[in-house]
Structure 1
Amino acid sequence: MAETNRKAIALPAEVSAEILQKTQEQSAVMQLARQITLPGRGVVIPVITGDPKAKWVAETEKKPVSNPTVSKKEMQAYKLAVIETFSNEFQRDLKALYDALVARLPLALGKEFDATVFGATDVPGENFDTLKNCTAQEIGTDAYKGLVAADADIADHDGITNGIVLAPAGKAVLLSAVDGNKRPLFINSAAEGAIPMVLGVPTKQSKGAYVAGTPATVGFAGDWTQAMYGTVEGVKVAVTDQATVTAGSETINLWQQNMFAVRAEIEVGFRADLNVFNRLTKA
């Protein structure tokens, strides 16, 4: 419930739920990683770095004991927020407001979350993992060779590549990859133009997967069963027209300019076994 023009505007509970759902759809990381419910104070999670091994035994022989190698990491909730301003005309049609919220806010939240996980944006704290320093494989010169090298490195660290995330620049690299007869390697036809699978692995797209540098990172491959994110209580939404909002060097007086602002925030954390992920770079 929020005060706008001294009249109460109730944002339906399903709006927050839908914004969270849409945020998950906009975030490649949230689509691939496991989700857990995160207590506000954080939680210590086990990260399995070595699996137990079974052995054949003869009748009456002692059965082998083999425990997995487990390390522990603390997953902490950090707040990710965005404020969107609207003209008061939206108040005349609440459906238009809800539609705008569901369409615009998840894109901002999902993009920034991905950019932080992939290393384009600094992490909010020491208990938030980033993939920016993972082993790099160059795919700009020979895309197929680079992808196979990434798959092999992940396997060498006891992982299975089960998800690839491409930035738009990474998609362009794979679209231009051809065999000796100039036939595209990763798409069936130019009309499709999509890359749903690479080496039998599902592929997602995210603007956040591009990290500028020399070379630039244009994608990531990894074992996403070894990555998880947690949210405390979904997306919280608040509305006001009785505030002054600063956007860069511009100051907006909402009441004076017949506007109102919507604030969306989510408490979220991310942890992963960084050994089973590779960066895909373009020299």
Structure 2
Amino acid sequence: MANLTRQSLQLPTEVSSEILQNTQEQSAVMQLARQVQLPGTGVSIPVILSDPEAAWVKEGDSKPVSSATVDTKKLVAYKLAVIEPFSMEFKRDIPALYDALVARLPLALANKFDATVFGKVDKPGEDFDTLKAVTGQDIKTDAYKGLVAADLDISEHDGIVNGYVISPRCKSILLTATDTTNRPLFINSVAEGAIPMILGAPTKQSKGAYVTGTPNTVGFVGDWTKAIYGTVEGVQVTISDQATITSGSETINLWQQNMFAVRAEIELGFRCDTTVFNRLTVTA
């Protein structure tokens, strides 16, 4: 990774905020999970394993005492970063530069965060939960039966399904699912071509939800009230035209090639109760 030198060109605060907002809007996980603000050292968060239980009592009898079972997890922020080179023409036209940053950087950050949560890429550390090994339900043979099985498994672990994240492959499978009279199960009309809801729960799409394996994972479903992500600050952006950067096997000397590079980074953490999530799978 190149050592970028901070230059005089700074992004307006509203542009940095818009990059963060767009990252959240393009990340399926961020749309469904709860956000908290983190201190730099992280924070311990309570994880409720079981709820207190009420009981009927007769007049004059002692009232029952019941406590929730609570564990704690450390929510730690890990740094996620990307460097993107631009031609100097963008720097001369500042509005065009801002528009390019707002359009391009959020997707790169959102895709990597989602892919990490779903286990498509390695997690950054031990204090970061992923859904890579949660219970799998096959939807290739009978999509409806697989979805109901996932709902049942999550409910048996004291969860309530309130969100699906599907890959484009999963969308294709669900679009072709029909009932006994060949009517589509998950869309109202072919013209819509979208699946906004599955079994009454909202649906988001993410390329990161497709994870190769035996079998392949094409989507995730769960109780997102038991998932949380944390951020230390917004997206931090640094711009340089003096560095040498490496992209794969290519080396780019910014000054020599009349270019500049933008480095965007954000500190993120993710924790959840993995027992209330399922994977949607298909055999290869």
**What TM-score do the two structures reach when normalised by structure 1?**
0.97
- SS of equivalent to 2:232: strand
CA–CA separation in structure 2 for the residues paired with 1:137 and 1:268 = 29
Q: Show the counterpart of 1:61.
A: 61
Provide the rounded CA distance (Å) in 2 between the counterparts of 1:38 and 1:140: 40
Aligned to 1:219, the other structure's residue is in SS state strand
- 1:111-167, Cα deviation, whole Å (9 max, x unpaired): 000000000010000000000100000001100000000000000000000000001
In structure 1, how many angstroms separate the alpha carbons of the residues matched to 2:124 and 2:227?
A: 18
C-alpha distance in 1 between matches for 2:113 and 2:40: 18
Distance in 2 (CA, whole Å) between partners of 1:3 and 1:29 is: 32
User: 1:3 Cα shift?
Assistant: 5.4
Displaced runs of 4 or more, over 2 A? none
1:210 aligns with 210
Tell me the secondary structure at the aligned position of residue 103 of structure 2. helix
Residue 178 of structure 2 corresponds to which residue in structure 1? 178
Distance 1:3 1:178 in 2: 57
For 2:10 and 2:126, the matched residues in 1 are separated by: 37
Q: TM-score, normalised by structure 2?
A: 0.97
Separation in 2 of the partners of 1:131 and 1:72? 18
Q: Where in structure 2 are the equivalents of 1:183-202 lying within 5 Å?
A: 183-202=183-202
CA distance in 1, matches of 2:67, 2:118: 32
In 1, the alpha carbon distance for the partners of 2:233 and 2:9 equals 21
Equivalence for 1:164 = 164
Describe the SS at the equivalent of 1:233.
Answer: coil
Q: What code does the residue aligned with 1:145 have?
A: K
Q: Are the equivalent residues in 1 in contact too, given 2:6–2:238 (CA < 8 A)?
A: no
Residue 144 (structure 1) aligns with: 144
RMSD between aligned alpha carbons?
Answer: 0.9
For 1:196 and 1:187, the matched residues in 2 are separated by 8
Q: Give the C-alpha shift of residue 270 in structure 1.
A: 0.2
Count matched residues: 279
Write the distance in 1 (CA, Å) between the matches of 2:166 and 2:59. Answer: 52
1:179 deviates by 1.0
- Structure 1 residue 9: deviation in Å? 1.6
Tell me how far 1:61 sits from its aligned partner. Answer: 1.6
Q: Is the 8 A contact 2:83 2:262 kept in 1?
A: yes
Residue 23 of structure 1: aligned partner? 23
Q: What secondary structure is seen at the aligned counterpart in 2 of 1:16?
A: helix
Deviations 1:219-260 (A, max 9, x none): 000000000000001110000001001000000000000100
Output the amino acid matched with 1:247: S
Shift of 1:10: 2.3
